[in-house]
Amino acid sequence: MSEKNKSLFWHRAKLLAFIGVFLAPFIGGWMALYVFEIRPSNGNYGQLVQPVKRLSWPVVESTQGVTYENGLGRQWSFIMFNKGVCAELCQSNLYYMRQLRILLGRDTQRISNVFISTQPLSEELKTFFVDYPSLIVIDKVDEAALFEQFQIEGEDAIGASPKLYLVDPDQNFMMHYPAENDQNRILEDIKKLIKLSQIG
């Protein structure tokens, strides 16, 4: 190969390499999306309720003797529903709900944890709740209309498992989490919401 041809070859090689570097991100993105079906997340760990549901609350009274007439107050509320025995996973999620609230530091008071049961509290649960003085406990709730407002199509019946439901200070049901969850990622969601929110 002559010197002229060698020079021409290297110029073309450099040009092709430059084009390759420029196109690589686009090709990689296309393959990730359409070949490997890797989809970007929406940034939230919890499942957003779309559109959010404005809740209509009945008058309820906590076991601590506090009456709630139009919802749970101007706070973010983590709610767990229970229709039977609060077994190991239920108690574990209550523990993590308490820890998440503590880990919010100065924003602790902006969120409340709520346990709503259709059954009277067992003696075991009463003993368990001694270590949860800030938990709002509402038992003997027989309000099908309330539970139906939290029902998600295709999901288990409300209270069948210890899932977590998030309500905003305007009493909108806007996010929910599975019973078996990643508490660190829930904490990230809550920190983000509270930081961006001008309410509660």
Q: Which tokens in the block code for residue 61?
A: 């009274």
Instruction: Render pLDDT for 34-59 as a digit per residue (tens, 0 to 9).
Output: 444 444 445 789 999 988 899 999 99
Q: Model pTM? A: 0.77
- How far apart CA 156 and CA 71 sit, in angstroms, is 24
| 151 has pLDDT over 50 | yes
- How far apart CA 29 and CA 53 sit, in angstroms, is 35
- How far apart CA 77 and CA 111 sit, in angstroms, is 6
Model confidence band, residue 67 (pLDDT cutoffs 50, 70, 90): very high
Yes or no: say if 95 and 103 are a contact pair by the CB < 8 Å rule.
Answer: no
| 33 has pLDDT over 80 | no
- How far apart CA 170 and CA 57 sit, in angstroms, is 12
H or E, element range at 61: strand 60-61
